[in-house]
Amino acid sequence: MSKVLIIGAGGVGRVVAHKCAQASDVFTGITLASRTESKCKAIAAEIGYPVKTARVDADNVPELTELIKREQPGLVINVALPYQDLTIMDACLATGVDYLDTANYEPRDTAKFEYSWQWAYQDRFRDKGLMALLGSGFDPGVTNVFTALAAKHYLDEVQEIDIIDANAGSHGQPFATNFNPEINIREVTAPCRHWEDGRWIETQALSTKRSYGFPEGIGPMNIYRMYHEEMESLVKHIPTIRKAQFWMTFSDNYLKHLEVLQNVGMTRIDEVEYNGQKIVPLQFLKAVLPDPGSLGPLTKGKTCIGVVAKGIKDGKKKQVYIYNICDHEQCYKEVNSQAISYTTGVPAVVGGIMMLTGKWRGEGVFNMEQFDPDPFLAKLAELGLPWQAIEGGEWLEM
Ligand code: NDP
């Protein structure tokens, strides 16, 4: 099979390294590289399988190229930050290696995430006979695959989707984000967009709220509509989708802190002068907030992420809800990470397995819904993220 190079040794990188080691029949060698090599070494020491480590600045294409040439992987899994997507794709092109990530590119100076920059690599990857798989986390990632599953098995035509991401867990901290605080707060505070009748409709961030009753004992929680990147690729590749919305749970406590931080300017992403130095307030905030990696042993409860897909089956209206439930404490027991990192890292590894085993192949740049959902979901369940589908049920008007 093949060697894999994982870039990024944060919460998600830890899960990816553990899970690649568990799938050593596919990943015959593992190198974990990041800006701070000591973090790679700490992760490698947890794993009972050889993991090589390296230091790399993933903003620097020549450094990346040298590392890839030295390690000779068959696949690069990028779980650094969205800022590094393009440099890592450039290095993959320079060295002739396939690429996979879990979040789309974002420029540092604008909180704007969209696929245009990465889709622009289509011809270059195709011409070199290489494959790039974009957004192979949970959302984006598994949510795209759930939508493809609805289109393949449950509905003749998918017309509406509501992607609903619930974290019903608690870490007991006054305020903390469960993945990189800078990326999380940029995403949550960005204006909301949803797709309706062929166009994006913009509304104020977090201004639309509903209550949703989650299955398997989680119960009702408040959900807030926000923009999320998978909607962009889903409405492109499944053009029957007339309406696409994304919803996430937030506790009142999280929203209260976020409002104050916004009001006092701490979520700004432009530079401000401080004591003769330029700082970005949000980056400073990240430095004082709890490291999401440290929340692993503290987090209890479950996540529930899924897709409500509505459409037509055999000439009749039909709805299906496809979801996964993941337990924070069980994840921590297995790989020393909470469920947010786990639900991102496992699909990244499954995406890698699909590519390296040839179950998902193509030349160019791809999103998850462009491939057969069945082998991916079978492997996902095997590696720790089983899913359920509830057909019918109360018709959900969101
Ligand atoms: P972390 O902040 O915990 O980890 C990021 C890692 O990337 C750190 O080890 C960091 O190094 C490293 N890094 C940052 N900049 C560079 C650089 N220039 N060169 C080399 N390494 C660098 O983030 P997470 O693990 O929580 O998230 C990883 C990715 O997963 C993000 O892109 C995030 O958006 C995505 N994600 C996707 C989800 C999905 O469902 N699709 C859900 C959650 C996250 P250092 O330690 O030195 O700072």
Domain containing residue 207: CATH number: 3.30.360.10
Q: Are residues 39 and 120 in the same domain?
A: yes
Q: Are residues 192 and 309 in the same domain?
A: yes
pLDDT values of the chain reduced to their tens digit, one per residue, 398 residues: 799 999 999 999 999 999 999 999 999 999 999 999 999 999 999 999 999 999 999 999 999 999 999 999 999 999 999 999 999 999 999 999 999 999 999 998 887 789 999 999 999 999 999 999 999 999 999 999 999 999 999 999 999 999 999 999 999 999 999 888 989 999 899 999 999 999 999 999 999 999 999 999 999 999 999 999 999 999 999 999 999 999 999 999 999 999 999 999 999 999 999 999 999 999 999 999 998 888 889 999 999 999 999 999 999 999 999 999 999 999 999 999 999 999 999 999 999 999 999 999 999 999 999 999 999 999 999 999 999 999 986 666 77
Measure 180 CA to ligand 1 centroid, in angstroms.
Answer: 7
Q: Are residues 115 and 154 in the same domain?
A: no
What's at 370, amino acid-wise?
Answer: Q
What residue's CA is closest to ligand 1, atom 2? Answer: 180
> Does some domain include residue 360?
no
The count of domains in the chain is 2
> Does some domain include residue 33?
yes
Pocket of ligand 1 (CB under 6 A): 8-13, 34-36, 39, 56-59, 79-82, 84, 102-103, 137-141, 179-180, 183, 292-293, 340-341, 344
Q: Are residues 197 and 281 in the same domain?
A: yes
Single out the residue in 134, 160, 180 at which a domain terminates.
Answer: 134
Q: Are residues 28 and 56 in the same domain?
A: yes
**305/317 Cα distance (integer angstroms):** 23
Task: Quote the pTM value.
Answer: 0.96
Query: Which ligand 1 atom minimizes the distance to the CA of 11?
Result: 25
Look at residue 58 and give its three-state secondary structure.
coil
Measure 158 CA to ligand 1 centroid, in angstroms.
Answer: 33
Domain containing residue 83: CATH number: 3.40.50.720
pLDDT of res. 179: 86
Q: Are residues 171 and 130 in the same domain?
A: no
pLDDT of res. 395: 66
Measure 190 CA to ligand 1 centroid, in angstroms.
Answer: 19
DSSP structure class, residue 32: E
The answer for residues whose C-beta is within 8 angstroms of residue 242's C-beta and 6 or more apart is 159, 160, 196, 197, 198
**251/108 Cα distance (integer angstroms):** 28
CB 310 within 8 A of CB 396: yes
CB 241 within 8 A of CB 159: yes
Measure 78 CA to ligand 1 centroid, in angstroms.
Answer: 9
CB 364 within 8 A of CB 124: no
Q: Are residues 162 and 291 in the same domain?
A: yes
Q: Give the strand pairing for 131-134 and 98-101.
A: parallel
Single out the residue in 86, 118, 134 at which a domain terminates.
Answer: 134
What the block records as the tokens of 324 is 């996964």
Q: Are residues 212 and 179 in the same domain?
A: yes
Name the residue of 5, 12, 146, 304 to mutate for ligand 1: max ligand atoms within 8 A of Cβ.
Answer: 12
Q: Are residues 98 and 168 in the same domain?
A: no
Question: Where in the sequence is the domain holding 313, given as residue range(s)?
Answer: 142-336+386-391
